[in-house]
Amino acid sequence: MVHKTISINLGLLEKTVVLFSICILFYSTHGDSKPLGKRAINEVQLMHNLGVHKHAELRQDWLQMKLREIHTASEKNNEGKTGLLSDIIPNLKDLNPREAEDIIAVLEKLMNPS
């Protein structure tokens, strides 16, 4: 008779372990992928600064692409070449983001005179 109670208890223990394992598996796969705690203010500021830097870098690359497409009449008449502005200004990587934004603003005003 003692033997039957031990087997019943082992069956209950196995069921408990299986149920507990299923619960752990369920809750580990249905997480919201949220951070465990709130971000510190310096982390948020760093992420914001990184976004601003990437945006300025994209604008600077766009500006360089647009400046390469510009043809100057004086250069074309003097040398008989296409006169790309990139030949006149060989490297714009030395511009800081503020200078690049100023140049973009001037070019946008020239392209949209309204």
Residues in the chain: 114
- State which residues form the domain around 72: 48-114
Q: pLDDT at position 78, please?
A: 57
Are 83 and 73 in contact, with CB atoms under 8 Å apart? yes
Q: Looking at the structure, do residues 79 and 113 belong to the same domain, yes or no?
A: yes
Angle at the Cα of 90 (from 87 to 95), degrees rounded to 5? 140
38 inside domain: no
What is the tally of structural domains in the chain?
Answer: 2
Q: Looking at the structure, do residues 14 and 68 belong to the same domain, yes or no?
A: no
Per-residue pLDDT in tens (0 to 9) along the chain, 114 residues: 555 555 556 677 788 888 888 888 877 776 666 666 777 888 889 999 999 999 999 999 999 888 888 766 655 555 555 556 665 565 666 777 888 788 888 888 888 876
Q: pLDDT at position 5, please?
A: 54
40 inside domain: no
Q: pLDDT at position 57, please?
A: 94
102 inside domain: yes
Enumerate the β-bridge partners of residue 71.
84
Nearest to 99 by CA among 70, 71, 63: 63
